[in-house]
Amino acid sequence: MRKSVIHSLFFLFFFLALSFCVTAQRSGQHRPQFHFSPVHGWMNDPNGLVFYAGEYHLFYQYYPNATVWGPMHWGHAVSKDLMHWEDLPIALFPDSLGYIFSGSAVVDEFNTTGFQRGKEKPLVAIFTYHNMEYEKAGRKDRESQGIAYSLDKGRTWTKYAGNPVVKNKGDEDFRDPKVFWYAPKKIWCMTLAVHDHAEIFVSKNLKEWKYASSFGQHEGAHGGVWECPDLSRYIASDGKEKWVLMQNLNPGALNGGSGVQYFVGNFDGEKFTNDNPPDQIMWFDHGTDNYAGVTWSGLPENRNIVIGWMSNWVDYAQSVPTVDWRSATTIPRDIKLVKTESGYRLTQLPVKEFKSIVDHSSHLIQNESSLTDSISLLNKKLQHCLNLTINLSDTPPIEVGFTLSNALNEQVVIGFDLKNHKCYVDRTKSGKHEFSTLFSAIHHADYVFGKQITVKALIDVASIELFVDDGKLAMTEIFFPNTDFDKLTLFQKGGGATNVKSELIPIQTIWKK
Ligand code: FRU
């Protein structure tokens, strides 16, 4: 009798917890309103990004029991439009083989695994097992790759009995499998981060894998360990098929800490070759707060969408001043590969679905001004998209830019330094910074401006994502003012008047009130 009461209470509690998970809203200080963040607990990398049956799945590195990193699970949310997210129960829990580290997910369209039972295609997650017992024992072979599958559109997951599917031969860092289907050879390919390079493995059925090649030991940036590689096919602006390897590294990024670099080249189903000289470094995002970015699989041809973790791993991710939860994702971004005079380059902009959360019902501020000094655009809580078109006169200013501020005189300054050809974000007076000596800084990106500068900036309570000249340059930065920024001011320094067209559009919250 007592046992059955305990059972009922347990289930009642379980279902209450589950419904809390599905319906809980996001509020409180520093909580983004149009970016994904976990209801509570710790989040890092986005994982298992896959599109299936009209839903975009977002799994993420998740520790529900604290706001710092811990035994890793895969948290789970789905969206029909990449903007509004529905929380689903945790998809993968740690087990005797280890914590569930980062990885990817694919739709097994041709049932190569043999997992399919009914009409739904199997969704297969490929992830890293990190064995803490091995780590404690000083064993290097602590990381291996496992798979799990779902036959009900990602709602429940079964781990494969034959795990691990890729064993470790003694590499201390051996993780973050990103898998894709290579149609010309009808094979699965996996990129894996192995300390200072990426390795490619191939498979016919996602269960048996064969090593194919390595890339990168002497290419690109190496200020830290390579993590979360993403090799994807692109149709470039000139119609050519190209392959891009996005390669995260921690630390060693342009402005310190973790970041994403990329390589452009070709892929033949086994080997990636870089178009550019080995010492050329290309950054995907020039800010400090875009890490572990990977792309969605299962998308229609010629669409590449990336989402990143909006924080900085080594520098302060675990100490930012949020309560009950930590970290948000970037806005999902459409990436394109554009042919330029210096070769192929990635551009990025918020996905086109972003338009659906633009708040048409409230006030849109439009302004065309001859900027000689400073003008205030807004005195209201900032949760906005700012579009600027800056036309430089023949006597251009030394600098033009804008400031987010509040009544406490805290501010973030975004500047386009035309004299030194730099774009910068200054968060030295942005509010809370005591949690890390590395936070309060000015971050720069080299950039040669033309006669006209276009800027799109997404400002959401505790972050700014900056896209310059149709996304040729991106900078993502977070900040923690003591009261929310509520003022936006345009400024210019030196030179003649500059014509600036500005448009400030309110963005709706993606969470139900
Ligand atoms: C990147 C990373 C991955 C690893 C995961 C662990 O942020 O370090 O390499 O799989 O996080 O949570």
Q: Could you read off the pLDDT of 203-249 as tens digits, one per residue?
A: 999 999 999 999 999 999 999 999 999 999 999 999 999 999 999 99
**Cβ(101) – ligand 1 distance below 6 Å:** yes
Which run of H or E residues covers position 123?
strand 123-130
Task: Looking at the CA of residue 61, tell me the nearest atom of ligand 1.
Answer: 12
- What does the angle CA 406 – CA 409 – CA 411 come to, to the nearest 5 degrees? 70
Expressed in angstroms, the distance from the first to the final Cα of the chain is 42
Buried/exposed 117-145: b ≥16 CB within 10 Å, e otherwise: eeeebbbbbbbbbbbeebeeeeeeebbbb
- Cβ distance 406 to 505 under 8 Å? no
Tell me, in angstroms, the distance from the centre of ligand 1 to residue 370's CA.
Answer: 48
The C-alpha R_g of the chain, in whole angstroms, comes to: 23
Distance of CA 28 from the midpoint of ligand 1 (Å): 27
Ligand 1 centroid distance, CA of 45 (Å):
7
DSSP-derived letter for residue 156 is S
| Atom nearest to 248 CA in ligand 1 | 1
CB within 8 Å of 149: residues ≥ 6 apart: 108, 113, 115, 122, 123, 124, 125, 157, 158, 160
Specify the ligand 1 atom closest to the Cα of 45: 7
pLDDT of residue 8: 45
Provide the Cα torsion 299, 285, 230, 139; round to 10°.
-140
Please give the average pLDDT of every successive group of 10 residues along the chain, which has 513 residues: 46 42 75 97 98 98 98 98 97 98 98 98 98 97 98 98 97 98 98 98 98 98 98 98 98 98 98 98 98 96 95 98 97 98 97 92 81 77 91 91 96 97 98 98 97 96 98 98 94 88 93 81
Residue for token pair 């380059």: 345
143 lines ligand 1 (CB under 6 A): no
Share the mean pLDDT of the chain.
93
**How are beta strands 123-130 and 259-267 bridged, if at all?**
unpaired
Active site residues: 45
Locate 173 and state its tokens.
Answer: 């860092």
Tokens of 312: 């900085």
Q: How many other CB atoms are there within 10 angstroms of residue 480's CB atom?
A: 20
The answer to whether the CB of 45 is under 6 A from ligand 1 is yes
* Pair 430, 457: CB distance under 8 Å: no
Is residue 290 in contact with ligand 1, taking CB distance under 6 Å?
no
